[in-house]
Structure 1
Amino acid sequence: MKNELLQIGPVTIYGYGLMIALGILAAYMVVVHRAKSRRIDPSHISSLTIWSVLFGFIAAKLLYWITQWNNIIEDPRLLLELSGGFVVYGGIIGGILAGYVYCKKKNLNFLQSLDLFVPSIALAQGFGRIGCLLAGCCYGEETNHWLGITFHESHYAPNGVKLMPTQIFESVFSFALFFLLLYIAKRKKPDGFVASLYLLFYSLGRFVIEFYRGDIIRGSVGLFSTSQLIAVLVFLATCAILISRWIKSNRVSHT
Structure 2
Amino acid sequence: MFNDIKIGPVTFHMYGLMIAIGFAAALMMCLKRGKKRGLNEDIIYGIFFCAIFGGMIGCRLLYYIVEIPEILKDPSILWNFKNGYVVYGGIIGGALASLIYCRVKKERFLPYFDLVMPAVSFAQGFGRLGCFFAGCCYGRETDSWFSITFTHSDFAPNGVKLLPTQLMSSAGDFLICGLLLLYAGRKPKEGQVAAGYMVLYGIGRFIIEFFRNDYRGSIGVLSTSQIISIGVVAAGVVFYLVMNFRNCKGVTP
Q: TM-score range by the shorter chain?
A: over 0.9
**How far 1:22 moved relative to its partner?**
0.6
**How far 1:250 moved relative to its partner?**
6.1
Farther-moved stretch of structure 1 (179-188 vs 43-52): 179-188
Q: In the TM superposition, what are the counterparts of 1:216-227 in structure 2 within 5 Å?
A: 216=215, 218-227=216-225
**How far 1:177 moved relative to its partner?**
1.1
Residue equivalent to 2:96: 97
Q: Quote the Cα distance in structure 2 between the aligned partners of 1:70 and 1:231.
A: 21
Residue equivalent to 1:115: 114
> SS of 1:86's equivalent?
coil
Residue equivalent to 1:162: 161
**Structure 2: runs of 5+ lacking an equivalent:** none
> SS of 2:211's equivalent?
coil
**How far 1:80 moved relative to its partner?**
2.3
Residue identity in the other structure for 1:241: F
**How far 1:79 moved relative to its partner?**
2.2
Residue identity in the other structure for 2:177: F
Farther-moved stretch of structure 1 (80-89 vs 228-237): 80-89
> SS of 1:13's equivalent?
strand
Q: 1:215-253: CA deviations, max 9, x gaps?
A: 02x11111111110000001112212333444556677x
Number of residue-to-residue matches in the alignment: 251
Residue equivalent to 1:2: 2
**How far 1:70 moved relative to its partner?**
2.7
Q: What TM-score results when the alignment is normalised by the length of structure 1?
A: 0.92
> SS of 2:189's equivalent?
coil
**Structure 1: runs of 5+ lacking an equivalent:** none
Q: Quote the Cα distance in structure 2 between the aligned partners of 1:249 and 1:239.
A: 15
Residue identity in the other structure for 1:210: E
Runs of 4+, deviation exceeding 6 Å: none
Over aligned residue pairs, what C-alpha RMSD do you find? Answer: 1.8
> SS of 1:191's equivalent?
coil
Q: Quote the Cα distance in structure 2 between the aligned partners of 1:248 and 1:123.
A: 29
Q: 1:14-67: CA deviations, max 9, x gaps?
A: 111111011000000100111111222211111110001111011011112222
Q: What TM-score results when the alignment is normalised by the length of structure 2?
A: 0.93
Q: In the TM superposition, what are the counterparts of 1:24-173 in structure 2 within 5 Å?
A: 24-173=23-172
Residue identity in the other structure for 1:3: N
Identity %: 44
Q: Quote the Cα distance in structure 2 between the aligned partners of 1:37 and 1:250.
A: 25
Residue identity in the other structure for 2:204: G
- Structure 2 vs 1, CA of residues 55 and 248 (structure 1 numbering), >3 Å: closer, same or farther? closer
Residue equivalent to 1:241: 239
Contact residue 113 and residue 191 of structure 2 kept, 8 A: yes
Residue identity in the other structure for 2:2: K
Contact residue 55 and residue 92 of structure 2 kept, 8 A: yes
